[in-house]
């Protein structure tokens, strides 16, 4: 099962980007799952950061 | 939506050209970024964006609720994008892909001779863009609406005519596929 689905089921919260996942929610997760989630969220952070950077560059083209 | 923007929409809807111009200018970057991620190359992007902005300026008087502007606008963005795909059959296969290609992402697109190269100036940005390029259309649209336009799951479900649950699972799946490509790049 996908780690996100697993955690969503076990902890009953919706996983979003790292900045939307509260510190308290992250602490409530067991350490081994937490490390996997942190990894997952870091990738989401990359996606978000990359898209925002692209958006800024496109804006500067105008 | 903030009060200033709502006011701008109402004024544009009532025929205030200055407000319309300001409104369109404010949306142009988001629209162009959206089309940039929906398309595999830079070709025709400016034409598509101009077409969208023209449609918005003509149809804004028909907008019933200024608060639904963002959903309404993105419906126009997607309809225009679909029209473009239909008219350019070489891209239309994107509409029917169900599974992500397991191809080497460095070989997918050639960005060397177009403005994309200036935008995607580092490898990770290139990997992420190419990964989004390779997503099936029913994953690509929800994730771009979420990431670029900042729409809620509910707004995306209205635009894509699917349930909120479907939108959530498609976005989660899209992120997982992009994550796989990032993992390959980072060498996890």
pLDDT value for B68: 93
Closest CA to B12 of B26, B22, B3: B22
CA distance B67 to chain A (A): 24
Radius of gyration from C-alpha coordinates of chain B: 17
Residues of A in contact with B115 (CB under 8 A): 61
Residue A7 has pLDDT above 60, yes or no: no
Model confidence band, residue A21 (pLDDT cutoffs 50, 70, 90): low
Nearest 5°: the CA angle B78, A46, B125 is 70
Q: Which residues of chain B have pLDDT under 50?
A: 93-111
Q: Chain A contact for B175, CB < 8 A?
A: yes
pLDDT top residue among A24 and A15: A24
Classify the phi-psi angles of A6: left when phi > 0, otherwise alpha if psi is within -120 to 50, otherwise beta: alpha
pLDDT value for A36: 72
Radius of gyration from C-alpha coordinates of chain A: 15
- Tens-digit pLDDT profile for residues B163-172: 998 998 898 8
Helix axes A31-61, B137-147, angle to 10 degrees: 80
Q: What are residue A43's phi and psi, to 5 degrees?
A: -65, -40
How many residues are listed for chain B in this entry?
188
Q: Chain B contact for A12, CB < 8 A?
A: no
Q: Chain B contact for A53, CB < 8 A?
A: yes
pLDDT value for A45: 78
Q: Chain B contact for A4, CB < 8 A?
A: yes
**CB–CB contacts below 8 A, A to B:** 57
> Average model confidence (pLDDT) for chain A?
68
Look up the ipTM and state it: 0.76
* Closest Cβ opposite residue B179 in set A43, A51, A55: A43
**Token digits of residue B86:** 């239909």
Question: Which residues 17-46 of A have a C-beta within 8 angstroms of B?
Answer: 40, 43-44, 46
Nearest 5°: the CA angle B56, B11, B4 is 100
CA distance B144 to chain A (A): 9
Q: Across the interface, do A55 and B120 touch by the CB < 8 Å criterion? A: no
Residue of B nearest to A16 (CA): B172
* Closest Cβ opposite residue A50 in set B30, B32, B128: B128
Q: Chain B contact for A61, CB < 8 A?
A: yes
pLDDT value for B187: 72
Measured CA to CA in angstroms, residue B113 lies from A61, B48, B67, B176 at distances of: 17, 20, 41, 30
- Tens-digit pLDDT profile for residues B112-130: 556 666 677 788 888 999 9
Please name the residues in contact with B15: beta carbons below 8 A apart, sequence gap of 6 or more.
B61
pLDDT value for A19: 45
**Token digits of residue B32:** 């162009």
pLDDT value for B123: 85
Q: Are B162 and B172 in contact (CB under 8 A)?
A: no
Classify the phi-psi angles of B130: left when phi > 0, otherwise alpha if psi is within -120 to 50, otherwise beta: alpha
Helix, strand, or coil (residue A38): helix
Which residue in B119, B131, B149, B187 has the most chain A C-beta atoms within 10 A of its own C-beta, making it the best mutation to test that interface? B119
């Amino acid at each position: 099962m996908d780690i996100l689905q697993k955690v969503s089921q076990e902890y009953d919260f919706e996983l979003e980007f790292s900045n939307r996942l509260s510190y308290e929610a992250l602490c409530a997760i067991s350490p081994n799952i937490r490390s996997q989630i942190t990894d997952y969220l870091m990738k989401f952070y990359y996606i978000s950061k990359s898209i925002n950077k692209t958006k800024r560059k496109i804006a500067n083209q105008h | 939506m903030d009060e200033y923007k709502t006011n701008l929409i109402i004024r544009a809807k009532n025929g205030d050209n200055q407000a319309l111009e300001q409104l369109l200018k404010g949306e142009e970057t988001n629209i162009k970024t959206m089309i940039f991620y929906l398309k595999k190359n830079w070709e025709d992007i400016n034409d598509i964006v101009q077409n969208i902005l023209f449609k918005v300026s003509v149809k804004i008087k028909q907008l019933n609720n200024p608060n639904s502007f963002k959903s309404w606008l993105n419906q126009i963005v997607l309809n225009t994008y679909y029209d473009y795909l239909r008219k350019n059959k070489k891209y239309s296969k994107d509409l029917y892909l169900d599974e992500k290609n397991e191809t080497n992402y460095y070989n997918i697109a050639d960005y060397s001779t177009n403005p994309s190269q200036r935008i995607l100036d580092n490898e990770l940005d290139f990997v992420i863009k190419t990964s989004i390029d390779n997503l099936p259309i029913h994953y690509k649209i929800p994730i771009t609406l979420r990431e670029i336009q900042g729409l809620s799951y509910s707004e995306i479900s209205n635009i894509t005519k699917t349930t909120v649950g479907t939108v959530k699972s498609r976005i989660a799946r899209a992120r997982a596929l992009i994550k796989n490509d990032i993992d390959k790049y980072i060498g996890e």
